[in-house]
Amino acid sequence: MTTQIYIILYSLIFLFLFTLSLFLYISIRRFVITQREKRHRYLRQAIESDILAAITSSPKNSWPVELKQYLRYPDIFTEVLLEFWQTLSGTPREQLKNIFASFLKEKYRRAISSRRLIKRVKAAKAFVIFAEEKDAPVIIQLLNDHPLVKLATLSSLTLNPQPKILESIFTSFIQETQTPLRYYFDLFTSMGKIIEPFVKKILKRSLPEEKLALLVELIGAIPLTSLYPQLLRLSIHPSKEIRVKTARALGNLSLPLEEIIDTLMLLAEDEAWEVRAQALKSLGKLRAKKALTLLAQALFSPYWYCRLNGARALVQFGEKGLKTLRKIARQKKDPYAADMAHMILEEIVTTGE
């Protein structure tokens, strides 16, 4: 009986000591983390103040005195520089580049050659954002690295769109075999009209159909209005997919030019019904009056989508288009055309358009 009491007593003592040590561990760890956060917060504020002073004052030779002390904290130093980069523009950004080049560039240049993947990914992000045009060869090297490094590089390039660097992105796009092309589409779209000359240049090359289709879609999505002549030439491309995307892009450009309307009218009589359907939709977007007869004829097409897009395009012309739809709805020669016209007219009444 005494032995059992001792066992219970020792168990309770052990449990108490274990609980106490666990509580002490949690308390000490929380204290350490709090102190570290305070130190980091103080450091960030100090770095922010000194960087702000550096970019607003001219003498570069005073930088080492204030900023060199922060080389022991490269991660915090870099974070603050990146935050300033996203906030500022123009000349201050050049100052930030100079600060990065003076204190951190060589460190990150070594890091992007590290064997550790995660280290290369983190280094690529910072290095590329503060890169100069002369760093284009290093960026091309990163674009040929592991897919994760490549994605980090491409994301950072959107924040630093210099001509030579942009050219390296398009070189990577041409040579791409692994990264999904939709990633490039999102990347190019986020850059906007700045990529226009590069798209124009690349369209002169012989490209695989998938990449050409992406560029055609891109022209309409941004939109890159000055590239409409390139789209006009692609309207006779042997690939049905390219012609469909060309018809869609021409409509998305919202340029009611005579040559664009004429091209869409030709596409509306294409041998592929998918091309015809898309061209009819684009003609409706452009409200091309000379296409009214063609749009009315589309309701008599054997293909449902051609009838649908033709009818919806007529709605874009207001009362004149509605009058044509009512006339088709009353005719008895083609019940399918009449049904489509009825459906669209009822849709207008229901939605209150």
Confidence of residue 78 (pLDDT cuts 50, 70, 90): confident
DSSP assigned state of 272: S
The rounded distance, in Å, linking the Cα atoms of 251 and 260 is 9
Helices (H) and strands (E) in the chain, counts: 20, 0
- Among the listed residues 78, 184, 198, the one whose alpha carbon sits nearest the alpha carbon of residue 126: 78
Asked if 301 contacts 310 with a C-beta cutoff of 8 angstroms, the reply is yes
Specify the pLDDT at position 64. Answer: 55
The rounded distance, in Å, linking the Cα atoms of 77 and 54 is 14
Confidence of residue 351 (pLDDT cuts 50, 70, 90): low
Specify the pLDDT at position 348. Answer: 82
Tens of pLDDT, residue by residue over 184-208, are 888 888 788 888 999 999 999 899 9
Specify the pLDDT at position 10. Answer: 78
Specify the pLDDT at position 315. Answer: 92
Q: Count of alpha carbons within 13 Å of 317, Cβ hemisphere only?
A: 24
Among 11-15, 201-205, 233-237, 309-313, which stretch is predicted with the lowest mean pLDDT?
11-15
The rounded distance, in Å, linking the Cα atoms of 247 and 251 is 7
Specify the pLDDT at position 215. Answer: 95
DSSP assigned state of 222: T
Confidence of residue 352 (pLDDT cuts 50, 70, 90): low
Tens of pLDDT, residue by residue over 266-281, are 999 999 999 999 999 9
Q: Which SS3 state, helix, strand or coil, does residue 353 take?
A: coil
DSSP assigned state of 94: H
Q: For residues 256-264, give the mean pLDDT.
A: 94
Specify the pLDDT at position 21. Answer: 86
Specify the pLDDT at position 62. Answer: 54
DSSP assigned state of 115: S
Burial 277-312 (b: 16+ CB within 10 A, else e): bbbbbbbbbbebeebbebbbbbbbbeeebbbbbbbb
Asked if 240 contacts 274 with a C-beta cutoff of 8 angstroms, the reply is yes
Among 89-103, 105-119, 295-309, 333-347, which stretch is predicted with the lowest mean pLDDT?
89-103
Confidence of residue 104 (pLDDT cuts 50, 70, 90): confident
Other C-beta atoms closer than 10 Å to the C-beta of 137 total 9
**pLDDT over 70 at 58, yes or no:** no
Residues contacting residue 27 through CB under 8 Å, at least 6 positions apart: none
Tens of pLDDT, residue by residue over 285-331, are 999 889 999 999 999 999 999 999 999 999 999 899 999 999 999 98
Q: Which SS3 state, helix, strand or coil, does residue 90 take?
A: coil
Q: What is the pTM of this model?
A: 0.70
Specify the pLDDT at position 59. Answer: 53
Specify the pLDDT at position 275. Answer: 96
**pLDDT over 80 at 254, yes or no:** yes
Please state, rounded to an integer, the average pLDDT across all residues of the chain.
Answer: 86
**pLDDT over 70 at 111, yes or no:** yes
Q: Which SS3 state, helix, strand or coil, does residue 70 take?
A: helix
Specify the pLDDT at position 260. Answer: 95
Confidence of residue 102 (pLDDT cuts 50, 70, 90): confident
- Among the listed residues 232, 176, 154, 167, the one whose alpha carbon sits nearest the alpha carbon of residue 195: 167
**pLDDT over 90 at 172, yes or no:** no
Q: How far is CA 255 from the centre of its chain?
A: 24
